Amino acid sequence: QVQLVESGGGLVQAGGSLKLSCAVSRTVFSIHFMGWYRHSPGKQRELVASITDGGDKKYADTVKGRFTISKDNAKNSVYLQMNNLKPEDTAVYYCGAQYRGSDYWGQGTQVTVSS
């Protein structure tokens, strides 16, 4: 079992920054795949950024160069630094994990970017 709790969402103006945090109930070192997803009304859920247990990172083209995913094994946390935010980044952001063949999700945190 893996519990995930996101925090750090909020309202920000276009061009601003936010840092999302995901607190994980077990050591992130043991989790093969962790990702940040987002979902907004009328759109499919999108994998924004991911990081493996080996530290390999991938980003969606829509956020490449603006978002950075990282993890802190000592704090059992995964982060998403979001810079130069755009109104189209508005969504509920979810932390997800794949562990021993199962998928786990947090409750999500709302990010709203005003123009």
pLDDT tens for each residue of 51-87: 999 999 999 999 999 999 999 989 999 999 999 999 9
Spatial distance between the Cα atoms of 96 and 81, rounded to a whole number of angstroms: 16
Contacts of 55 (CB under 8 A, 6+ apart): none
What would the mean pLDDT of 24-29 be, rounded to a whole number? 84
Spatial distance between the Cα atoms of 90 and 100, rounded to a whole number of angstroms: 32
What would the mean pLDDT of 7-17 be, rounded to a whole number? 98
**pLDDT at residue 96 tops 90:** yes
Strand 67-72 vs strand 77-82: parallel, antiparallel, or unpaired? antiparallel
Instruction: Please count the CA atoms within 13 angstroms of the CA of 85 that sit on its side-chain side.
Output: 23
CA 92 to chain centre: 10
Strand 18-24 vs strand 33-39: parallel, antiparallel, or unpaired? unpaired
pLDDT of residue 94: 98
Instruction: Note whether 68 and 58 are within 8 A (CB).
Output: no
